[in-house]
Structure 1
Amino acid sequence: MVSGRDDAGRRSGAMRLSVLGAGAVGPAAAVLAASRGHAVTIWSPSGRGTAGIEGGMEAEGAVRGWFPLRVAAGLAEALDDAEAALLAVPAYAFPDLLPRIARALPPGLPLLIAPAASLAPLALDGLLAARGAPAVRAAIGAMATTPVTARRRAPGRVFVATVRAAVDVAAVPSAAAASMGALATALFGHASPAAPSALGAGIANANPIIHAVLALTNVTRIERAEEWPQYGLMTPAACRMMEALARERAALAALFGTPVLDLEESLHRANGVPLGPLAEMAARIAETRGAVAGPAAMETRYVTEDVPYGLAFYLWLARGQGLAMPVTEAVVTALEALWGRDLRRNPLLDGLDPGAIAEALDAGYGRG
């Protein structure tokens, strides 16, 4: 647990951090960074997320205390004078937000994206190159997941459920992974194992697999707005389907020389429970954390975000490599039938060739 001070003084080695995104994760990451002595500015793309933040936020849970935060009215103001930036928004916000960031991002400002769903760092690098950004510019960090999990309790209060012990970090260009990992560690305190490429960070998050299966196996509960405990319903049968999806994802990652954590290790890192069979780990989380509620509305990111920017993204990559992923294909098709909509549309991939991204992942676009 992190307990912070309530003054605005800066510790040795502190940085000026701009957090772009003010839902739950953005404010939680902001207070975590502030608890470590960094001076934090926060910006909301819509403006709604920062309403009610009066000079700072109260944190509860794994981080406790009141922490000063400066609210920026606009993106340019948020990035002005920053030494580092964190983009923490849902993946479905990337298509509209990345072009805005590409127009405003100073060339020397390193940006971390958490989580780096699909190929968001590579897509941003392409936008920067297209707008004529200098060949020599800061790296873009690709975090496999967020530094925290959180819930927004009130406009000026956030509950930090967990602080990650470790988050894999890659970069565009790939050679900058170690430096971007060091930046993430300095800001948030977690270990930052280097991932070979932004692709690894983009497919390392376990949520698309876990969330898609939970949505599939609990769709009637979701549709009826019932309360249900998501970890408590990770039964052996549901876990078998998750493990089948994870095996197909691992085969895909292997084609790119990118190892990914198995689901058990992901749960262990996120929740601190001992390693064991997946269903037993989920039951242990349910016992120790209580009933973590699953979604109770069909408009849930478990489907609207984690399928297009997760499972469907895997299928797009697999087609470029000639790899069959029958279980993943079946789950996406079933969810499309249940939700009655196209869940494969991912604008981040427009203009990218899934069979020819290895060089871009290594060197980026238009970099010297």
Structure 2
Amino acid sequence: MNNTARTSRRVGIAGAGAIALASAAWLRRAGHGVTLWSPRGPGADALRTQALEAGGIETFSVRVEVARDAAELCAAADVLLLALPVNGHRRTMDALLPFLRDGQTVIVSSMASLSSLYLHEAAVRAGRRVTVASFGTTVLTARRESATQVRVMTRRQAIGVSALPGAHVDEAVALCTELFGEGFFAQGSALASALANVNPQSHGPLAVFNWTRIERGEPWAQYHCMTPGVARAIEALDAERRAVAAAFGIALGPIEAHFARSFGTTSEKLADIAAELHAQRGGPPGPTRTDTRFVSEDMPYGLAFVEALGAIAGVPTPATRTVLDAASLVNGIDYRRENDLVEPLGLARETVAGLLARL
């Protein structure tokens, strides 16, 4: 971990979950000022009087500030980091928008379903000149152990960054490097960042084909249960993700390359990669609640989003549709309707050329 910041930044973090707490610990340890705000209530209040304890990669404690509301968070920060589930992005962005200042950068981690485009276009309409940067995945992987404790498990080795306006991407990469350290590289557009996230493609089949374990609350290890058959389904979804991206002029590597970049795996086949990770890490544990983000986030904002893009570009996505339908059927929820970004972004009325022009 880089313990000395070359330039001290004031970072405001929206969120109080695992990634928010891990990012707060990491940034504060590096010498940056950190203020947390929990958009969903008093989730960060304990940190007003207690230290944030981090374990995992390193063990240490830091003190952070806690904002009462969106206005106080924006006033305290030069840089904002949105580190919360994507089903809270639109609501949180709407809360922050009136208080954004010209020159601020908002980093969306991780971005899905073009939530960063939603914020950028809303800011333009409001007359705010801000940069919205996007990660397709999180810099850190972590587990929240309590309101004041977080376990940081991984610092990913390579993270793509996009920006809106696109001309600001080099500045965004430099800023992210200043905050978190080396490993960031420029991506061509926010759409590339959104489609670079392979969580929906891996989590969707894992959830659907291990649903009885989830519903009964049984313990199960994700990579151990990524059997050859489940891996085959994941590979089919990943092929559709890359085909949709190609229709928008975006070249993406396969999911196997993502695992190699993120975790240093050496196996070539996905099922073997899963076995390698299980042998190394023995986890992470699979979800044991039916409201898991594997379905509440990854279905509407991941698979339904890919399906919507496929409809724009005329790219068939039958495997994506099948897994999305299965998850909707078993939960009694139409996950296509759960996405609150597709409609305000006007994707049903968009064309390939039109969407690319907006990016």
State the TM-score, normalizing by the size of structure 2. Answer: 0.94
1:254 aligned to 2:246?
A: yes
| One-letter identity of the residue aligned with 2:22 | A
Q: Secondary structure at the match of 1:348?
A: coil
1:99 aligned to 2:94?
A: yes
| One-letter identity of the residue aligned with 2:28 | A
Query: What per-residue deviation string (whole Å, max 9, x for no partner) do you get for residues 74-128 of structure 1?
Result: 1111111422111011011123212112122112110100011111011111222
The answer for the alignment partner of 1:350 in structure 2 is 343
1:196 aligned to 2:205?
A: no
**Contiguous gaps of at least 5 residues in structure 2:** none
- Cα distance, 1:260 vs structure 2: 2.2
Over 3 Å off, 4+ runs: 356-364
Q: Percent identity?
A: 36
- Matches for 1:58-207 after TM superposition, within 5 Å: 58-130=53-125, 132-134=126-128, 137-207=129-199
Structure 1 CA distance, aligned partners of 2:28 and 2:139?
13
| Contact 1:212–1:303 (8 Å) recurs in 2 | yes
Structure 2 CA distance, aligned partners of 1:39 and 1:56?
14
The farther-off stretch of 352-361 and 197-206 is 352-361
The answer for the alignment partner of 2:41 in structure 1 is 47
1:223 aligned to 2:194?
A: no
What is the aligned counterpart of 1:34 among 28, 31, 37?
Answer: 28
Q: CA RMSD in A?
A: 1.8
Structure 2 CA distance, aligned partners of 1:241 and 1:22?
33
1:15 aligned to 2:9?
A: yes
The answer for the alignment partner of 1:334 in structure 2 is 326
Structure 1 CA distance, aligned partners of 2:171 and 2:351?
26
Query: What per-residue deviation string (whole Å, max 9, x for no partner) do you get for residues 314-340 of structure 1?
Result: 011111111111111111111111111
| Contact 1:47–1:73 (8 Å) recurs in 2 | no
The farther-off stretch of 337-346 and 48-57 is 48-57
The answer for the alignment partner of 1:7 in structure 2 is none
| One-letter identity of the residue aligned with 1:219 | W
The answer for the alignment partner of 1:320 in structure 2 is 312
The answer for the alignment partner of 2:227 in structure 1 is 235
| One-letter identity of the residue aligned with 2:99 | A
Query: What per-residue deviation string (whole Å, max 9, x for no partner) do you get for residues 144-182 of structure 1?
Result: 111111111122211001111111111112222221122
Query: What per-residue deviation string (whole Å, max 9, x for no partner) do you get for residues 201-221 of structure 1?
Result: 111111101100101110111
Number of residue pairs matched?
355
Structure 1 CA distance, aligned partners of 2:67 and 2:209?
42
| Contact 1:122–1:360 (8 Å) recurs in 2 | no
Structure 2 CA distance, aligned partners of 1:68 and 1:363?
40
1:208 aligned to 2:203?
A: no
Query: What per-residue deviation string (whole Å, max 9, x for no partner) do you get for residues 19-62 of structure 1?
Result: 11111100101111112221111111123321221353111011
